[in-house]
Amino acid sequence: MKNFLWRVFHHWLPTKSELTKRGMTLNTYCDLCQQHEEDVCHALWLCPKSLKLWKVLGFSKYFPPLSYHAADFLWWLKDLIPTNDLIWFIGYSWLVWQRRNTFMFQHKSLNDNIWLPWAHDLLEEHLGSHQKLHQISAPKPNMSWNPPHPNSFMINTDASLIIGQAGYSISAVIRDSEGSLLVAETEFVNGYSSILLAEASAILLGLRLALSRSILQAQVASDNATIIHNIQLKSSNKSEGVFSS
């Protein structure tokens, strides 16, 4: 993330506008909004598609009224928000840039309601529990139970662990479309684990449990948006199942 910040500060992010300054010939309009030239400030913060995210996160009200240089943009925010919040802002900016690249080069667009909790979980994992937002709280996933499609099943999974302590528990519950319980299982796993690995183990438990009951049409739900997001991006055949947070 430090390297990303340095590149932002010195306008070394390869936005379309910056690439033309280095001699490349290309359409400089933003691929996401198709309305404005894509410089660093636009790509990270001012594109209408990204600005919706910043409004939900609560940062947009601190944006400068007019800024053409990323360094000036960051200095402006530094004087307005606490240091921890600025760190989170930079982290979100890093993920917005990755989101832009995913759209440009892989032609994949993620729904804002999925991306926001995924981004929050990922930054929490990277920054650690000591870096808490003071004024701004990102939205968390909806924890209510949603039924699967008719004639299919819902696999809810969860993991419980304390970072730094050995051992963690994983659980999986399978219900039909009416909400009736079909089967549930809990396991305790010895050893140390990260949050993502524990959540992935819980999902694997749920899938094994479904296969043991010959369940082929099922939706997997986890409260960890990061692991669900990664599975969705890497899945090569979405017809095999649905993953949601």
The per-residue pLDDT for range 40-86, each reduced to its tens digit, is 999 999 999 999 999 999 999 999 988 779 999 999 999 999 999 99
d(CA 119, CA 154): 25
Average pLDDT, the chain: 82
Record the pTM.
0.58
% of the chain exceeding 70 in pLDDT: 85
Q: What is the pLDDT of residue 43?
A: 96
Q: For residue 236, what pLDDT band results from cuts at 50, 70 and 90? A: very low
Residue 100 and residue 64: Cα distance in Å, rounded? Answer: 22
Q: Is the dihedral of CA 52, 56, 224, 126 positive or negative?
A: positive
Domains of the chain: residue spans and CATH: 2-127 (no CATH), 153-244 (3.30.420.10)
Place of tokens 């684990």: 193
In tens, the pLDDT along 131-188 reads: 555 444 444 444 456 788 888 999 988 887 766 667 788 888 898 888 888 888 878 8
pLDDT per residue as tens digits for the range 19-47: 998 888 889 999 999 999 999 999 999 99
Q: If we measure between CA atoms, which residue out of 136, 118, 133 comes closest to residue 56?
A: 136
Q: Helix-strand-coil percent breakdown of the chain, rounded to 5? A: 45, 15, 40
